[in-house]
Amino acid sequence: MLRHFASALLISLTAAAWAADPAPTGTSAANPLGGKAAPAKVAPGQPRLIAWEELVPKDWDPMKAFKGIDFSKLDDNDPRANEMLMKLQKASDNAPTNPAMNGVMVKIPGYLVPLEEKNGQVSEFLLVPYFGACIHTPPPPANQIIHVQTSKADKGLRAMDTIWVTGKMETLRNDSMMGVSGYHVTADSVTKYTSGSK
């Protein structure tokens, strides 16, 4: 069990490292599961369409402290496995944010992880880059989790719905029961993602 959790956490850290690299050819900011960064020029008063890799500092290497470690050789009852798991979790929770994103009006797609829900209305949630994050798998690094609060509760939103969030982004850390987020957005709008929508 412990080895599986450590492996899943390691995979999420590796995904964050991949996000810092250039996006594969053929992806775009409008593709929520891929994503080149959106063009820097934005019409006045319009939010900037961003991709998840923009939230990761270019010089951050989450695997630096774990180079040369063969996780498959650690048994669940090995004290070193628990020590390594704690080290992985700490690296994930303390993942650095991109200061250039602070104060930027953004629009970003992702998956919804409810935090505050009442009578079927969601007013506070985490936005994550891939399906199952924080619910079926360990949370991604903090720089890949956005804590979102809305001015009004949204009806019809459920866990793991694919949505667009628009609002002002802040580099503000928050620890919730579902994971540590490195960013906060007070949402002006939350809409369901549909193919081709921007």
pLDDT tens readout for residues 64-93: 877 887 877 778 788 888 888 888 888 899
DSSP state letters, the chain: -HHHHHHHHHHHHHHHHHHHSPPPTT--TTSTTS-PPPPS---TTPPEE--GGGGS-TT--TTGGGTT--GGG--TT-HHHHHHHHHHHHHHHTPPP-GGGTT-EEEEEEEEEEEEEETTEEEEEEEESSTTBTTTB----GGG-EEEEEEEEEET--TT-EEEEEEEEE---EEETTEEESEEEEEEEEEE--TT--
- Predicted confidence band of residue 22 (pLDDT cuts 50, 70, 90): very low
pTM value?
0.76
CATH 2.40.50.100 fits 1-198, yes or no: no
What residue spans define the domains of the chain? 1-198
